[in-house]
Each structure stands twice: as C-alpha cells, then as structure tokens.
C-alpha cells in the first residue's frame, strides 16, 4: 500500500490514495499503522475516495489513531487539499470535498496556505450532540472533583471550550480525559483550553477524543473562535496560537460560514505491506 506522510502544525497524518488503489482497512489495521514503534505513526489517517456526487471532487474518510471513524479534521483537511493538488489528482485550486457529514470547499492560496470553508458552527445541542435542556452560551458540567464552565459547539465534531487564565499550567490531559467521556456527550468530545490574549489573539491547547493532547487541531481552533465570538469575547478575525503553530480563523457570526487558513507540509512517501 502506498501512503504519504504529511504534517499540519505539528499534527501528523497519513494520507492514502484510494482513487488509484483499492483500500480495505479494519480498525485493527489502523491501530497497527498508527503505532509509532511497529507501524508508521500518525494522529489521524485520511483516505481519498472518488466522489459520491458529481458536484463533488473527492470524498474524504477520516480515522483517529484508535481506529474510530470521525466526521471532521481541520488540520487533516488542509493536508488533504495539498495532497490531491500536488499529486495531480486535480488541477483545481478550489476543491469541493465531502466527509461523512459535511461538504467543504478547500482553496489553495498563492502562498500555498490552505483556506477551508468550514461551514457554519452548530450550537443546537441536539445536533452537536450534547445532552442539555436548552441552548446556553455558557454551560455548567459537573466532574467528581470540580465544576466546569464551558461553551459547546460542533464544527462537524463536538467541542467543549474552557476559558483559562494560565494555559501553560492547565491540566490538559487530566481534565481532557475526564470530560472526553462525560455522560452529556454521547459521541465523546474534543476538549480545548483557551486563553484570550486580546480580541484578535488567543492561545489554545487541545485534548482530542481518541488521541489525547495534540500540538494542533483545526476544528478545535474554529470551535474556540466560534464560542469566543458567540460570547462577545473576540472579534471576527482571530489568530489562534497552538503549540504546533498559528491558524487564522474568521467568522462574521450566525448564518455565515467560518473560514480557517493555515499551512501544511509534505514529509515523505512510503510503501507498507499489511
């Protein structure tokens, strides 16, 4: 099987061309491939598939390192765009793709950064999904040892956003793992810890469901900005500083699409026998 290793702000991805080669991977196969000692190693695996709709250029399947299929991955989607363009699977600079739940337009900019139309943030608890009596800008979640105040939104996958004052000393793994499987999130949740530097600038650390803390998460960056704008804390254009680098996220508010702009890098091509 041929594969390509790519990097998006410190998150590493394996991308497999399922257009020109037949790919059938089990959850066990994916866990083996993700192992950094015995396999290739990655945070997420993306498979390029032919479109299911003539209006779409490609379909993208996304898997976490634990073998579970997910709906969305902002950093991975940017790598996906660069992969199909530079591997000459398309000559378009505006690429229409579908994932398990969404349709998006990926644009390759003149400086080779990737702009992604992520669609509108979803705050309806039933669609996130999130068990709560009604929508609120700020929710209260109870853990055995503390009470958490947070915003909750979906960017194609569920996100819980927590404001913090000291991001460097925040117990990301401890709180992230406790909230990931919280009973209010039937599909589990990605947990982000946001420090607001100013209205155009935030710092973010992310605990991704099925992965753990990562150096960057595109959908979490989008979710954090959406929650910050919804709560009146941020302006419509925000630099999101993650341990792996910076993303620009812009959103003009309700009923408007949210855009994410960032860089990606090619690492290597390889072959592996399963």
The residue extents of the domains of the chain are: 2-118+263-271, 125-256
What integer pLDDT is reported at residue 211 of this predicted model?
A: 82
> Which whole number is the average pLDDT over 41-69?
94
- Smallest CA-to-CA distance from 122 within 265, 258, 272, 262 is with 258
Give 65's Cβ-side CA count (13 Å radius). Answer: 18
Domain 125-256 listed as CATH 2.60.40.10: no
Helix 74-86 vs helix 218-230: crossing angle, to nearest 10? 130
Q: What percent of the chain has pLDDT over 90?
A: 85
CB 23 within 8 A of CB 29: no
CA–CA gap between residue 129 and residue 245 (Å, rounded): 29
Q: By three-state DSSP, how is residue 209 classified? A: coil
> Which whole number is the average pLDDT over 121-145?
96
> Which whole number is the average pLDDT over 238-252?
96
Can 2-118+263-271 and 125-256 be said to share one CATH topology?
A: yes
| Global confidence as pTM | 0.85
Number of other CB atoms surrounding residue 130 within 10 Å: 24
Contacts of 14 (CB under 8 A, 6+ apart): 3, 4, 5, 6, 33, 40, 42, 44, 45, 46
Q: What percent of the chain has pLDDT over 70?
A: 100
For tokens 């399963």, name the residue: 274
How does residue 147 score in pLDDT terms, banded at 50, 70 and 90?
A: very high
CA–CA gap between residue 48 and residue 37 (Å, rounded): 25
Catalytic annotation, residues: 73, 217
CATH of the domain spanning 2-118+263-271, picked from 3.30.2350.10, 3.10.310.10, 2.40.50.140, 3.40.50.300:
3.10.310.10
> Which whole number is the average pLDDT over 127-138?
96
């Amino acid at each position: 099987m041929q594969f390509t290793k790519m990097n998006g702000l410190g998150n590493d991805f394996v991308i497999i061309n399922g257009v020109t080669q037949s790919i059938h991977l089990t959850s066990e196969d994916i866990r083996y491939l993700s192992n950094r000692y015995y396999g290739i190693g990655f945070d997420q695996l993306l498979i390029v598939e032919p479109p299911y709709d003539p209006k779409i250029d490609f379909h993208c399947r996304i898997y976490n390192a634990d073998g579970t299929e997910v709906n969305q991955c902002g950093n991975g989607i940017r790598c996906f765009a660069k992969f199909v363009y530079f591997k000459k699977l398309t000559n378009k600079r505006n690429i229409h793709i579908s994932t398990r739940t969404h349709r998006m337009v990926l644009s390759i900019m003149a400086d080779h950064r990737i702009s992604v139309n992520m669609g509108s943030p979803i705050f309806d608890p039933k669609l996130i999904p999130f068990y709560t009596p009604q929508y609120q800008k700020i929710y209260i979640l109870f853990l055995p040892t503390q009470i958490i105040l947070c915003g909750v939104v979906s960017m194609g996958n569920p996100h819980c956003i927590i404001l913090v004052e000291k991001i460097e000393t925040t117990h990301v793994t401890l709180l992230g793992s406790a909230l990931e499987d919280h009973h209010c999130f039937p599909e589990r949740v990605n947990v982000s810890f946001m420090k607001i530097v100013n209205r155009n600038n935030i710092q973010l650390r992310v605990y991704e469901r099925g992965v753990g803390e990562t150096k960057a998460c595109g959908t979490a960056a989008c979710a954090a900005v959406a929650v910050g704008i919804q709560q009146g804390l941020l302006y419509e254009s925000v630099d999101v500083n993650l341990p792996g680098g910076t993303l620009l996220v812009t959103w003009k508010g309700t009923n408007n699409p949210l855009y994410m702009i960032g860089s990606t890098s090619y690492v290597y091509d390889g072959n592996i026998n399963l």
